[in-house]
Amino acid sequence: MKNFRLARIIGLIDDDLVTEAAGVKKRYLRRITRWMSMVPAACLCIVIIMAVVFGNHGMGSSAPANGAPMDAGAVPEAPEAADAPAEMPAGDAEEAPEVNGIGPNADPSEADGAAIVDNSSTFMYYTGPILPLSLEVYSDGVTAEREITLDFSPYVMHQVVSESDLIETYSNECLIIDNYILTNNTDSDINCTALYPFIVSFQPLEDNSVKIYADNAPVETLAYPEICLRDMDGFDSSLYGVYGEMSVSYEAFELKIPAGESVIVSVRLRKAASYGSEHSGENEGLNGFDLAAALGSNLEFTSQKATLEDRGIIEIVNQNFGFDIENGIKTVELDLDTERYYLEILRKSQDS
């Protein structure tokens, strides 16, 4: 079979060409989304020019839509993980994406743009942020409200098989319930592809599936090629030292948002903690979780809230969310201009 031999020969081409082709997605995805993100601005300019030229023509406002309350507890039992394999890492043209994080934080003074002022720790094993939902193509008429819950119910002793032995160990995973109300503010139905990004885990999770529901019904998802986190739209170079070379994968799914109505999208996934902090001497066992409010998303968020389900098993050492477990403040409004939220915790001792 000559074609088979040719296929094998093509397999022998230079390595840099192979890795370049693996990383192709990020550039084109980015090009499309960037271009699309300019459309509303361009439209607005045209409207303003028209208004100036033709006089007193006000811009019509979109009809308000119904906003059904979100109920994290109403999410049905998770289905089996999707059967399709994950996509290849897009990576860098020259080098494969480095899945291991180098951890926070870079010296803000060395970065371009706005500096991140925070006191978060540097983790040797950094698992990256929880990222927000996005649409494949920007949709002018869609607004979003986000309510994310960090549920520490899995963060307990569990049994794992290790070399045929059953051993007990603490899990460092948190259940993330990331809910969105997507509202169509237009007079026409909107059919769109939604993308849920997540950091490619460098360590196996107890359950590494991302489960997604639309109005409580499981959705069929497709794996999307990975990109490098730094290539996401809205990535600020000041985040480089924090997020570095992490790879982002996507679950893509189709959504129909009827005119003037809302769809509730609920995502459930496990997130492993970052660990191995510089402060391990003083805070041994410190675990970190990060959240990006808007990074890489083209959704127009009207609000975001975060809820902590601490389950009485963690204590907060360091954070910028504003949780106060002792005083019962476990739900907080997030500032959409804050690039990065971090939560650093210790497991409460058994006898405390």
Q: Which residues contact other proteins by CB under 8 A? A: 1-22, 24-25, 28-29, 31-32, 83-89, 91, 95-96, 98-100, 200-204, 225-226, 249
Distances (CA, A) of 317 to 120, 154, 244: 10, 19, 24
Among 193, 188, 194, smallest CA distance to 63 is for: 188
Helix axes 24-54, 15-22, angle to 10 degrees: 40
Output 20 or 300, the one with its CB closest to other proteins: 20
Output 201 or 307, the one with its CB closest to other proteins: 201
Check if the beta carbon of residue 265 is closer than 8 Å to that of residue 213.
yes
As measured in angstroms, the least distance from the Cβ of 205 to other proteins is: 11
Output 152 or 240, the one with its CB closest to other proteins: 240
As measured in angstroms, the least distance from the Cβ of 334 to other proteins is: 30
What's the helix, strand, coil split of the chain in %, to 5?
20, 35, 45
As measured in angstroms, the least distance from the Cβ of 32 to other proteins is: 5
As measured in angstroms, the least distance from the Cβ of 29 to other proteins is: 8
Output 125 or 301, the one with its CB closest to other proteins: 125
DSSP calls for 215-268: TTEE---EEEEEEEGGGSTT--GGGHHHHTT-EEEEEEEEEEE-TT-EEEEEEE
As measured in angstroms, the least distance from the Cβ of 10 to other proteins is: 5
Output 72 or 96, the one with its CB closest to other proteins: 96
Amino acid at 172: N
Output 7 or 156, the one with its CB closest to other proteins: 7
As measured in angstroms, the least distance from the Cβ of 202 to other proteins is: 5
**Separate counts of helices (H) and strands (E) for the chain:** 4, 19
As measured in angstroms, the least distance from the Cβ of 131 to other proteins is: 17
Output 49 or 84, the one with its CB closest to other proteins: 84
Check if the beta carbon of residue 261 is closer than 8 Å to that of residue 66.
yes
CB-based burial, 12-48: b 16+ in 10 Å, e otherwise: eeeeeeebeebbebbeebbeebeebeeeeeeeeeeee
